[in-house]
Structure 1
């Protein structure tokens, strides 16, 4: 009886060990082919959407990222949700008043795909300051998956990062920090409409190069020098090295721009009383403006 009392459930999520068999060249080649089948249109703002503008996507994407971070979602959830959002907007005209509803729905579906305990419709509605009702979100979910023809297992840059790291002769502790920084770059790229034209593999490769550059690891490992790493990753994903360099430079420029904006808006952050109370209903004013 005493031993039985000591046996209790642990609240932490149990994860499977990484299967090295999934990191082989055959799997990578299959992924490189698959990423082409679930790509959004690069011109949907001009050809499909009449009421939604690129800056509105930026506002909603930033809100979605904040929700995913506050809810400690898996790293893959936000990029996958943005893939759903862009693909839907590539196919279906949408009123700007329903853009936040679409964003919440994309997080809802992506969370179901990637998490053991997914986000609930009720919690996502709270994050919209109750401008969206649970039944609206569930109805939009059906519309979303039907428009995407249930092709929900889309490739994201996160799927490629692990393949690149497994091929790099780097110490495990360095891989961990490169992975963390690269994932941050991937999330940042997902908020910017300019990266829609880049395939996930290139964004992943550019993020890894940018992470190594930012961490100054090239000085301690000859393989990680800018030229060698860029050439190696461009061969892995079968792209022109100049294209990869351009992507990486674009990522670094986006980081600098985001840091400047963060400093400028630091005075207009979440009110302290909301931070203390953990108010889930906080919704950025600009998202409410898009919802009008």
Structure 2
């Protein structure tokens, strides 16, 4: 008798569990515990002396490009940035160690979310071999200790399915909304202004910005519904959504500037490939 293996795609993800998705207690618990995983302070003001906001943005951009090039799960990058922010909120860090910290955070996040995690050797290659695998593994223990081994963080992605389930829009539009919202969440993770925002607000604002960008909204009624789903103040949600949309506009402008400076004939995709990974050597000096 022959055996037939139907597992054509070994990376296939499990389907959402309806027992979790349709139980409002799960959403309530997420909202209850989400603030435990926020950075303890705005660390540029009270903890970090050597690291500046633009350095975090450079390293975050590099981390996002690595995750995209390695086709990591959508949750890996925001989770890695959460680890980075929580570490920097408690440990004064030299700027020459910032890229090493970013690599360690991706290493940990991929272990938690990926079927096949990123390897230490591969991450070192992305740093242009400015760090060694042994150094990354040593820092892994340091970061784990400072995070108190609390890695199961609540991120904006945890709220997306709960929000979309309650939004009265056609099912054929939900996939597109989800993809746009995931892009907004990644953009928020690169911007320190969102680091202290509750994940539920970022998720709700991202879904709202995606619906608005796709011109599927019907005015304030949808905003009121989104705010009600995650118990978010309506005015705070509107402000967050506007901030997210502004980040998108700024990001698109930067891409256009890079395109003009590099070559008018290059496409955006070609520019992305040419500039991956972002050169962060300036902050390693």
TM-score (norm 1): 0.90
How far apart in 2 are the matches of 1:204 and 1:131?
Answer: 35
> Which position in structure 1 is the counterpart of 2:182?
183
Q: Does 1:227 find its partner at 2:225? A: no
How far apart in 1 are the matches of 2:216 and 2:32?
Answer: 31
CA gap 1:231/1:52 in 2 versus in 1, 3 angstroms = same
Contact 2:62/2:276, CA 8 A, preserved across alignment: no
Q: In angstroms, what is the RMSD of aligned CA positions?
A: 2.1
CA gap 1:8/1:210 in 2 versus in 1, 3 angstroms = closer
Which residues in structure 2 correspond to 1:58-207 (within 5 Å)? 58-207=57-206
Structure 1 window deviating more from structure 2 (77-86 vs 19-28): it is 19-28
Contact 1:76/1:158, CA 8 A, preserved across alignment: yes
Q: Deviation per CA, 1:92-145, whole angstroms, max 9, x where unpaired? A: 000000000000000000000001111000000000000010001101110111
CA gap 1:237/1:281 in 2 versus in 1, 3 angstroms = closer
- Specify which of 248, 258, 261 is matched with residue 241 of structure 2: 248
> Which position in structure 2 is the counterpart of 1:284?
278
For structure 2, the residue ranges without an aligned partner over 5 or more in a row are none
Runs of 4+ displaced beyond 3 Å: 6-12, 279-283
Contact 1:129/1:283, CA 8 A, preserved across alignment: no
> Which position in structure 2 is the counterpart of 1:265?
258
Q: Deviation per CA, 1:148-168, whole angstroms, max 9, x where unpaired? A: 001101011011011000111
CA gap 1:152/1:31 in 2 versus in 1, 3 angstroms = same
Secondary structure of the residue that 1:265 maps to in structure 2? helix
- Specify which of 16, 19, 22 is matched with residue 20 of structure 2: 22
How far apart in 1 are the matches of 2:164 and 2:232?
Answer: 18
For structure 1, the residue ranges without an aligned partner over 5 or more in a row are 219-224
Structure 1 window deviating more from structure 2 (104-113 vs 14-23): it is 14-23
CA gap 1:282/1:135 in 2 versus in 1, 3 angstroms = farther
How far did 1:239 drift?
A: 2.1
Secondary structure of the residue that 2:12 maps to in structure 1? coil
Secondary structure of the residue that 1:91 maps to in structure 2? coil
The number of residues matched between the two structures is 277
> Which position in structure 2 is the counterpart of 1:222?
none
Secondary structure of the residue that 1:211 maps to in structure 2? helix
